[in-house]
Amino acid sequence: MSIGSNVLNITMLGSRGVGKTTLLASMYNEFDKMVKDISLTLTPNQETSSILQQRLAELKRQTEVFSPKRGIDGTNSPKEFIFDLGMVGKTPEIQLRFKDFPGGFIKDNPNEVKKFLSAADVILLAIDAPAMMEAKGIWHEKINTPQMITDLLKHVVQNLDATTKTKLLIMVPVKCESYVQSDNEARKLLQTLKDSYTSLFNLLKADRLLDKFAVVVTPVQTLGSVRFTRIEEVDQGEPRFFFRKVSPSAIYAPRDVDQILRYTLGFCIKKYLDDMSFFKRVLNQLFNMSQAFEQAVRKMAGNARKETDGFQIVQGATLLSRD
């Protein structure tokens, strides 16, 4: 986030069909519950709102047994989801811009993606949890392309030196309902994730990056009431993953999706305060985040942030405010 513009850029990575739009829809849908005593409000722009409403309606109609299809949503072009965040009844004070890069686009246009990643404050990596956890992870490389992600981040960290910009990487195992129902399972998910992204973790834990690049793992249940059931291999090595509702009458029941915003805004407010004290010293400049808003965001970010049950701050805890 740069002082003055108050725009927070969030770049989303993850294969098509992994659940990125669903994640945003669930997050937005849960927002009011999350801030009920804080007077914050999140307002999507028209286009964002209509896409998310449509997605929510689909989620609520989810059949008892289903297999998410990959790549049926037509275009393979990047999308932008825009939300304004502010105090209820007041002019918004921060804009959150989620840039959604589907897997296929990244492969064809790496340079454009690198540019966005370098400019991003937060990188949200959606990881297909069943691909990583089931069948000894044989589908992980194909679906989650960890090497391609690591290569993109290599570029980002090379360019980080030149600036004082800090970044937050949020690794989000999605479709993870089957792996977080007990402490033991959640620990196993976290460990498998660490084993499945060793080169990425090794890259980011270089000394010079430890206080610049925060990394957190946040397994969120965007549907909640479903479980993985089986994989069917259809034509030419294309797997299909099947899920089943926990009971025929189970309804859409997302869990922990608030964590994404708690971490994102915790990082953002810390960055804002650090930048502000720097600029105050140097320029004695005035800034445009109201104190009431700053306090509300701080409160939201600090409240109920999870660090157990598969959630972990892997590095850079000091970049995430904590009071």
Ligand X SMILES: Nc1nc2c(ncn2[C@@H]2O[C@H](COP(=O)(O)OP(=O)(O)O)[C@@H](O)[C@H]2O)c(=O)[nH]1
Please report, as ranges, the residues that interact with Mg ion according to CB under 5 A.
20-21
Longest dimension (CA), the chain: 64
- Out of 99, 114, 167, 175, which residue is the one contacting ligand X (CB under 6 A)? 175
> Counting contacts by CB under 6 A, is residue 13 touching ligand X?
no
CB atoms within 10 A of CB 300: 23
Q: How far apart are CA 142 and CA 270, in angstroms?
A: 36
Of 243, 252, 267, 272, which lies in the binding site for ligand X, with binding defined by CB under 6 A?
Answer: 243
For β-strands 40-44 and 79-87, DSSP reports them as: antiparallel
Per CB under 6 A, does 312 bind ligand X?
Answer: no
Q: What is the closest distance, in whole angstroms, from the C-beta atom of residue 126 to ligand X in the complex?
A: 6
* Token pair recorded at residue 265: 């805004």
Nearer to Mg ion, 13 or 122 (CB): 13
* DSSP letter assigned to residue 256: S
According to the binding rule CB under 6 A, does residue 226 interact with ligand X? yes
Strands of 226-234's sheet in order across: 65-66, 238-245, 226-234
> Which residues within the stretch 49-108 sit at the binding site for ligand X (CB under 6 A)?
66, 68, 73
Question: For 145, what's the count of Cα atoms within 13 Å in the CB-facing half-sphere?
Answer: 16
Between CA 55 and CA 36 the distance in angstroms is 24
Is the CB of 14 or the CB of 266 nearer to ligand X?
Answer: 14
Is 160 a binding residue for ligand X by CB under 6 A? The answer is no
Please choose which of ligand X, Mg ion, none residue 19 contacts, taking the beta carbon within 5 to 8 angstroms, the exact cut-off set by kind: ligand X
Q: Does 144 bind ligand X (CB under 6 A)?
A: no
Nearest to 212 by CA among 271, 149, 279: 271
222 binds, among Mg ion, ligand X, none (CB under 5 to 8 A by kind): ligand X
Which among 10-18, 91-99, 142-150, 276-284 is the span making contact with ligand X, rule CB under 6 A? 10-18
Q: Which is nearer to Mg ion, 51 or 186 (CB)?
A: 51
